[in-house]
Amino acid sequence: DQQVKQNSPSLSVQEGRISILNCDYTNSMFDYFLWYKKYPAEGPTFLISISSIKDKNEDGRFTVFLNKSAKHLSLHIVPSQPGDSAVYFCAASSLTGANNLFFGTGTRLTVIP
């Protein structure tokens, strides 16, 4: 049973506009959330994270929002650039878990020049 879900397999955005990638989770024990970016034929690279004690974390053009009551998080990229085109994975972990990261199925972002 998928505990972390990314319901949009793909997203296309114009260069310079905002990209919003969404992620939902079912396990209320999750307390740390991460976003990874993956280019073809490469391993995922860490992008940004957020602890459950926060509702927002910002790093340059990337902002992650967490809504614990809705079990929902989102990644905002502003402004979007063509180099942001990649697959984005949402991941979650919990203190009670064995340091596992549970991943969503990914969203392919295409930024159109």
Partner 1 sequence: DVKVTQSSRYLVKRTGEKVFLECVQDMDHENMFWYRQDPGLGLRLIYFSYDVKMKEKGDIPEGYSVSREKKERFSLILESASTNQTSMYLCASRGTAISTEAFFGQGTRLTVV
Q: How far is the CB of 50 from partner 1 (least distance, A)?
A: 10
Q: How far is the CB of 76 from partner 1 (least distance, A)?
A: 19
Q: How far is the CB of 77 from partner 1 (least distance, A)?
A: 18
Amino acid at 16: G
Specify the residue, 69 or 99, whose C-beta has the smaller distance to partner 1: 99
Q: Are 49 and 32 in contact (CB under 8 A)?
A: yes
φ, ψ dihedrals at 9, nearest 5°: -70, -25
Specify the residue, 15 or 52, whose C-beta has the smaller distance to partner 1: 52
Specify the residue, 14 or 26, whose C-beta has the smaller distance to partner 1: 26
Name the residue among 7, 21, 9, 5 with its Cα closest to residue 84: 21
Length of the chain: 113
Tally helices (H) and strands (E) across the chain.
0, 11
Q: How far is the CB of 93 from partner 1 (least distance, A)?
A: 7
In the complex, the residues that contact partner 1 under the rule CB under 8 A are 6, 9, 31-32, 34, 36, 38, 41-46, 49, 51, 89, 91, 93-95, 98-101, 103-106
Amino acid at 15: E
